[in-house]
Amino acid sequence: AMQGRKVKQVSCGSNHTGVVTEDGRCFTFGGNRHGKLGHSDKVKRLTPTAVQALEGVFVSSISCGVAHTACISNTGEVYTWGMGGRGQLGHGSFENQLEPRKVERFKDSR
């Protein structure tokens, strides 16, 4: 839960919200069409819920679109999830992602 954590950043999509805390945790809530909350399902969340697939990743920033979400780790890794129907997730396909997936194009590109 978010209780006791300090919020670093908030991003709002059309009907979902993403939050990053100062300790690098990522929480999402709201509508979950296309899996844009990143919880491996399409069930809406009425309260901030930790994105379990990002456990162990220190998230430094998040951005919520209309139907997809993206975040950046403190080491520069980019993760995207949600609707991929126009290739907007960057994984080389048009598939939806129900949980965060690392965008491999940026891997080791520093």
Write out the DSSP string of 28-63: EEE--GGGTT-SSS---EEEEEE-GGGTT--EEEEE
The total number of residues written for the chain in this structure:
110
Q: pLDDT for 13-31, tens place per residue?
A: 999 999 999 999 999 999 9
pLDDT of residue 108: 62
pLDDT under 50: residue ranges of the chain:
none
pLDDT of residue 3: 84
pLDDT of residue 107: 63
Nearest one of 22, 18, 6, 10 to 79, comparing CA atoms = 18
Cα atoms in the Cβ-side hemisphere of radius 13 Å centred on 103 = 20
